[in-house]
Structure 1
Amino acid sequence: MSESVQAIRLATFKDSRASFLSALADAGIDTGEVKLFSERPQAAGFVDMIYAVSEALPWNALSRVIVAWLEARKSREIIITQGTNTVVHARGYSVEDLRKILGSARNITAIDTEKPDTDV
């Protein structure tokens, strides 16, 4: 049986980056920063990757992180783009529903429209 590497692109912006990456790290989910080079202007933000070998990506842990991160502040939004280009706004989904959605995710965008108060 051969193993495959699965990756999900994670886009964060200034006010969401630290809190979302911290929540992922607390759940034991590793990320790696991607450096982008372009001659054209790009949207302000950061790109990381969440990697897993075969089916080892912790869908349950990632689903729990997303639900908890969204519930902590009303100014937060998670947008998941699936391989079929279907876009899902994660607010209101259960951990179980998100686990299923994440199985075909290729991109996650974490947005917080308010500056962090403290360590939230």
Structure 2
Amino acid sequence: MGKINKILVPVDGSDNACKAVDRAIDMAEKAKASLEFVYVASHINEHIPSEIVFDRIWEKLPAGVSATKHVETGSRPKAIIRVAQETNSDIIIMGSRGLGIFKGALIGSVSQKVIEDSPIPVMVVK
């Protein structure tokens, strides 16, 4: 993997997604990379509007770090991979488990599917 210029971070308001945001911001600062955040609306996170999630992220962003928001619908893994490709992201940094119903799983079903299908590297944060 070469220089990291763009980092995609799927967000859903979960604790693990917040940890992934922190890791991505840190990496973006060090690599002087831009950030792409994607929120995939579904029945699982319908009680957390994307604006609330993005507002919390934008409060954390340090000066000089460029970031863009994306809101998608449909299959979460497919939407994440599609946005990664459309934005020419170099890496996906995501939480190990989101707001899904399988809280006890070692790795969430969305994370697992993204790892399996992504053409770019995926970092999973616990």
Q: Which has the larger radius of gyration?
A: 1
TM normalised by structure 1 equals 0.32
Identify, as 1 or 2, the structure richer in helix.
Answer: 2
